[in-house]
Structure 1
Amino acid sequence: MVLALAGVAALMATSPVALGIVKWLGVAYLLYLGWGTWRQSSVLSMPNDAHGDQAPPTAVRTISSAVLVNLLNPKLTVFFFVFLPMFVAPDEPGAFLHMAALGAVFMAITLAIFAVYGLGAAWLRGYVLGKPIVMRWLNRGFAASFVTLAVVVAFTRQ
């Protein structure tokens, strides 16, 4: 996967036409997302909130989905293969254990931060979903963010 990304990055760096095509496709997609979000009636509704015919996801399904998303996250791959090894000398005795300890510390800190995010989101959920005016302004804020990003991308040179 990393090699494929490197190949795409090399293509984008050497071909202004390919970069331009991807850039304008990105601008169009961001504008599409902005328009769709502006017209949307709710941002955070769950499938069972609107129809009542679907059961909420189980804790096992939610956790397994979160683990899968994090395993497929390219930022983690870059962190563990590029950034973290800079703190371990490859010729030191126990380099593997040192890397494993650093990785465990990273995962513990990440777990603590995500737990705080989750608790905060659970606390805010009732307030946000229960207020249509809050949902409308959230939609508008997200739509404005997409359009702003599209404008930034459109006016960015290479």
Structure 2
Amino acid sequence: MSLAFLLAALAVVVTPGTGVAYTLAAGLSHGRRAGLVAAFGCTLAVVPHLLASVTGLAALLASSPLAYAVVKYAGVAYLLYMAWAMLRDKEAFTVRPESEPRPALRVITTAVLINVLNPKPTLFFVAFLPQFVPAGSTDSLGLMLQLGGAFMALTFVVFAAYGVCAAAVRDRLLARPRITTGLRAVFTASFVGLSARMAVA
């Protein structure tokens, strides 16, 4: 596996997007465990995009404006729903007892939906992975799956770091009501902004 691939993948993973925003929000709202679970959910969401790219579904999205639009606007609608839910939840950024963790399945489901309903990663894999598969390779599928696995590993490590760092400053930040209100507004605006960016992509 080339260093060029690892560096390029790292640059993509580190760049803030919907998954990063959700992982940070989970870590700040519910602590380290929720941040790590959100990171796992976002990593798990890579699997459908990877499978779509190697099975040809990505070609359908690329060639069918209608199919692409359906997936894209479903993602836009879900991000707007997340923004509304964040704004509506007055306890989104309150320090809660560790004995009351947010259900892991709920965190994972939300993380997966946020990322799966974004068609851009699928098209990214189509354009990105083949560049690192040697021409004429007899096992191009295996190599693409291997690269996809490395991409997922990087995704989990980076997102877990985001979640843990958010949880580390949680008590300090959330002890101040004004900061709590500001954080809720920031993440609400982030989800709205990300939905707008997806809509015009």
8 A Cα contact 1:84 1:99, kept in partner: yes
CA–CA distance in structure 1, aligned partners of residues 173 and 164 of structure 2: 14
Match of 1:67 in 2: 112
Task: Give the CA deviation at 1:118.
Answer: 0.9
Q: Are 2:174 and 1:129 equivalent residues in the alignment?
A: yes
Match of 1:88 in 2: 133
Task: Give the CA deviation at 1:142.
Answer: 6.8
Which one-letter code corresponds to 2:93 in the other structure?
S
TM-score normalised to the size of structure 2? 0.43
Identity %: 37
The alpha-carbon distance between structure 1 residues 75 and 69, as it changes in their structure 2 partners (threshold 3 A), is: same
Match of 2:93 among 39, 45, 54: 45
Q: How big is each residue's C-alpha offset from its partner over 1:66-120, in whole Å with a ceiling of 9 and x where there is no partner? A: 2333333323212212221122145211111111111111000001001101111
CA–CA distance in structure 2, aligned partners of residues 138 and 116 of structure 1: 19
CA–CA distance in structure 1, aligned partners of residues 142 and 89 of structure 2: 51
Which one-letter code corresponds to 2:163 in the other structure?
G
8 A Cα contact 2:93 2:183, kept in partner: no
Task: Give the CA deviation at 1:145.
Answer: 8.2
RMSD, aligned CA: 4.4
The alpha-carbon distance between structure 1 residues 101 and 136, as it changes in their structure 2 partners (threshold 3 A), is: same
8 A Cα contact 1:42 1:135, kept in partner: no
Which one-letter code corresponds to 1:86 in the other structure?
Q
8 A Cα contact 1:128 1:135, kept in partner: yes
CA–CA distance in structure 1, aligned partners of residues 117 and 186 of structure 2: 28
CA–CA distance in structure 2, aligned partners of residues 81 and 93 of structure 1: 18
Match of 2:103 in 1: 58
Match of 1:105 in 2: 150
Larger Rg: 1
Structure 1 gap ranges (5+): 9-32, 50-54, 154-158
